Chains A and B, each alone.
Chain A
């Protein structure tokens, strides 16, 4: 089974020059083995970015929250916890792009594409409530609540590409979140 799905405007070769680039690459196993490293890494990357803001403290909370959600998802849904996850930050001045890349199982790729299709077509406030009600009944994961809040509450633009993994099992998932720098800087 193979899934090919694109959500949002996924522009791989945007020729807008970035001002600042920062990337971390790690084995998801590192974070699974010590879960607190997720939050630590998110905080670190948020601090890194926050220095470019006039109101670093106000930017920090949003940045850390959004990065943490991306990071947790990339780690949780990595099929092989030894295959590296890449998290990259690109600052374009007006917008900040945060991109997480990981390889997931086929079943997750299908579920995720299904969820994104709902995100694309349904009212996001209704989807938020319905996912919470759904979560309450299932003992399973939070099924995209993190992504919903990023878009609904943090004004994030979301772009996702799901493609069959190159020369292997599973699917490559690239999730890119774009945040408005001006909004982040508002005290």
Chain B
């Protein structure tokens, strides 16, 4: 009567594939949260909590939604999404007026509601899988309508990261990021930011700033992985 589902065991063949899909079940979310906790604790000495969040005490909030990347049946990368309370608004001091200002400059004030915002966060690749461009694939998939929008949600996209991430991920990808505010100092980011690598909150207006082929890429989907290369994005995108 007790049936524990059999594990997916695929033999590790090269070239391998990466399957990208949204988290839908309790198990999906739990695996995503455990992977994020594992990597963030190791890299930044951070713990997570659902109720008590304190960035100066290195306690981070969990995202609300997740994008998952599976390779050979194993979860190798996740991207999180804040939907209800974004990090940049909660901790970065970003206001409705900041978003409105940038929308207005872009002539998009009527097209987007500054109150409906989501934020990609906690992009995490399992350390033993870096170098396969998995980070780039999940970064790409995270910037898609399938991940960011819902029937009743056509949001603007917020992001907070250090300068190096913007220079090495967003800019080469052709994603425009619009400066909103410097991110205030918190102890939780002390290993992530430095005077020559400052952190800021930025706005991305999806249909204007994200390459169309990324935005329209459907989920779930499976992509081929090449052989290992150097220069994959770091294991974590932001803190």
> Direct A–B touching in the complex (beta carbon < 8 Å)?
yes
Binding site for B on A (CB under 8 A): 7-11, 14-17, 19-20, 51-54, 91-95, 97, 157-159, 176, 178, 181-182, 184-185
B7 touches A97 (CB 8 A): no
B5 touches A181 (CB 8 A): no
Q: Is B44 an interface residue (CB 8 A)?
A: no
Chain B: which residue is nearest A91 at the CB level?
B30
Q: Is B27 an interface residue (CB 8 A)?
A: yes
Residues of A within 8 A of B2 (CB): 8-11, 97, 157-159, 176, 178
A-B contact pairs, 14 of them (CB 8 A): A10-B2, A16-B5, A16-B7, A19-B27, A19-B30, A19-B31, A95-B4, A157-B1, A157-B2, A176-B2, A178-B2, A181-B25, A181-B30, A182-B25
B4 touches A93 (CB 8 A): no
Binding site for A on B (CB under 8 A): 1-7, 25-31, 33-34, 50
Asked if A53 meets B26 with Cβ closer than 8 Å, knowing A9-B3, A16-B5, the reply is: yes
Looking at chain A's contact residues, the main secondary structure is loop
B1 touches A8 (CB 8 A): yes
Residues of B within 8 A of A178 (CB): 2-4
Residues of B within 8 A of A159 (CB): 1-2
B4 touches A97 (CB 8 A): yes
**Bound: A159/B3 CA distance, A:** 9
* Candidate in B1, B26, B29, B50 with the most chain A CB atoms within 10 angstroms: B26
B4 touches A52 (CB 8 A): no
**Bound: A7/B1 CA distance, A:** 8
B5 touches A94 (CB 8 A): yes
